[in-house]
Amino acid sequence: MGYYTKFKLELDCPDPDDLQENFEKICGFPIECLDDDVMKWYNHIENMNELSKLYPEILFGLYGVGDETGDIWIRYFKNGKSQYCEAKISFDPFILLMNLS
């Protein structure tokens, strides 16, 4: 089995020509897979930290939606460092509607 996540990668600047090639070397699959598939990518943090060291001027945003309800997050990577941000899911409070007639 394993835990599946839908990943999406966003960059703060256009892709350098060799980014796709380096992504595949480091991560072991083509970058295009992130847009198409749910996948098991257990070492995404290590892989993305390594990739971000090669492109220290680029801010990478890796979005994830996991198997479990509410498992929605983004992790930012820049120059070998990362920051994790969980989604905050909330509901509006109940508002009692009164009959005004």
**Domain locations in the chain as residue ranges:** 5-86
pLDDT the model gives residue 13: 74
Looking at residues 36-50, what average pLDDT do you find?
94
* Sheet-wide strand order for 81-86: 38-39, 5-11, 60-66, 72-78, 81-86
Neighbour tally for 41: CB within 10 Å: 21
- Tell me the average pLDDT of the chain: 91
pLDDT tens sequence across 3-26? 999 999 998 777 677 899 999 999
pLDDT of 50 above 90: yes
Comparing 93 with 87, the larger pLDDT belongs to 87
pLDDT the model gives residue 70: 93
For the entire predicted model, the pTM comes to 0.85
